[in-house]
Chains A and B, each alone.
Chain A
Amino acid sequence: MKLAWIPFVFLRVLKSLRDLLWTHVLTSGTMAMTLFIFGGFLLIQDNLHSLLKGWGSQIQIFAYLNNSLASPDLQKLIAAVRSYPEVESVRFVSREQAWESFKKSMGSQSSLLEGLQAEILPPSLEIVLKMPYRERAPAGDVAKRLRGLAGISQVEYPEEWVERLSVLVLGVQWAKWIFGGFLFAATLLIVGNTVKLAILARKDEIEIMQLVGAPQGLIQAPFVVEGMIQGIAGASLSLLVLWLLFLFLGTELPNFLGIFAVRDQIHFLDVEGVALILSLGGLLGASGSLFSLRRFLKV
């Protein structure tokens, strides 16, 4: 490709974008929709994944104690739990500490708690397992042994949550490609059709270029560039909409559902995710256009 051809290609792309403006806008919009759905899945998958990782790495067992437990017994109990080979650390949470952190987690709605007493929350032990034991089976094993100890009334650990979330992440991961795959195929056809219109609009010029021996690359380049521009525009639009939706849900949804803990943990797509969407857009546009060129540009 010679340098002199860059303005040539550029001019033709501009002209085509202008002449078929609404066709191009609609095509970009279609691509934006496809990529929005794909990006939405990607975003959910990303967030679930990091939530899972966060939770997995902090698998804790909560052992709630009898209210009547005396101090020496408590010390003995803590020492016993500490001596388990799976246990990394044990932290005692008194009734007052539990109350404070509960109030804090309620945030602005803590006024609702007025009149309630610290007594309603039992003291507890927060038990962190060593790395290799942070899985379902060993955690369950430890929980079973804890239940057998005197002074412990109840044992909890987020076993089912972790498991269900893992399945969900896997589901989203697959849905992204299955849904995405269908939409990509449909979008390819729509881009192909737009490029077909662009080819027809320039059919006479293309014929003359072919007759005077213009290289095929030069004849095709404007359409490929055109497809890529549409794709990248569509991808940018999808990212913008996704981001606005993310901002909205990120501030509104946690308040609405009362999931305070999640609020600080969700995040938008990282640089790689954004780059993936943009390049998928460009690729989708370019391949839709090549696909059309192959069909409608006879040599």
Chain B
Amino acid sequence: MVQLFRVAKIYPPNYPALKDIYLQIDKGEFVFVNGPSGAGKTTLLRLLFRAEDASEGQIVVNGRNITRLDGKGVAELRRELGLVFQEFKLLPTMTALENVALAAQVVGVSRQESKRKAFHLLRELGLKDKHDARPPTLSGGEQQRVAIARALVNEPMLVLADEPTGNLDAETAEETMRLFLKIHERGTTVLLATHDTGVLKRFGCRAVFLQRGELVGDSKQESGEARL
């Protein structure tokens, strides 16, 4: 699903945010990207949805080499992804339903069908009574669930989440994490960046560790080596 070969990212003028990254993520995996602040987690995710260009190396997402894409190619790539951010990125003037439906509508789904899909997703995520609420009137956890619904509305192959629980209290964060596990159980590949180490132990998924731009650990390889 995701392959990185010798990937490096140097921010101008010459700050190396990622160095020599090799990483393979298979279809259906749930992977935490972990590491201290400034390690390069956000940078890694931004490379995958082409908000940044890699300085070196090749990146393949869903069978497509994304290192060289024009504007059209980037749009096509992102249609296969679901993105969730720490700060939700919802439009405050639109209702929850409109926020979710917008994402479907702009990739060519009819207005009716977009609203129908948004309606069902919001209900599934426990926001049945909040369709017509605008984001500023919702709690943080509710806003993040609207954002997750938006990420899922186009049925992505891969969900990329960058600190999705960073703005939530412990209890809401835990609920939100379980939501990502549920999404994963339905067959979606999930890549989730977090600096929270506690969550790794509790969920026991694969985790890769970044430190100062280098990939310093991968629980999959370690357990594989342990088995040998």
The chain A residues found within 8 Å of chain B, CB to CB, are 2, 4-5, 7-8, 204-205, 207-216, 218, 299
Contacts and interface: CB of A to CB of B under 8 A. Distances in A.
Nearest to A3: B110
B78 A208 contact: no
Interface in B115-152: 150
B89 A211 contact: yes
Contacts of A209: 102, 106
Interface of B: 49, 71-72, 74-81, 83, 89, 91, 102-103, 105-111, 150, 154
A212 B90 CA distance: 12
Contact of A4 (B49, B72, B76, B105): B105
B11 to A, nearest CB: 16
Contacts of B107: 212-215
A8 B89 contact: no
A191 B130 CA distance: 40
A188 to B, nearest CB: 23
A266 B102 CA distance: 56
A23 B170 CA distance: 47
Contact of B106 (A7, A204, A214): A214
24 contacts: A2-B108, A4-B105, A4-B110, A4-B111, A8-B105, A8-B106, A8-B111, A204-B89, A205-B91, A205-B102, A208-B89, A209-B102, A212-B79, A212-B83, A212-B102, A213-B74, A213-B81, A213-B106, A213-B107, A214-B75, A216-B75, A218-B106, A299-B71, A299-B74
A214 B150 CA distance: 14
Of all A-B residue pairs in the complex, the 4 with the closest CB atoms, nearest first, are A213-B78, A213-B79, A214-B106, A212-B103
Contact of A212 (B71, B72, B106, B111): B106
B71 A208 contact: no
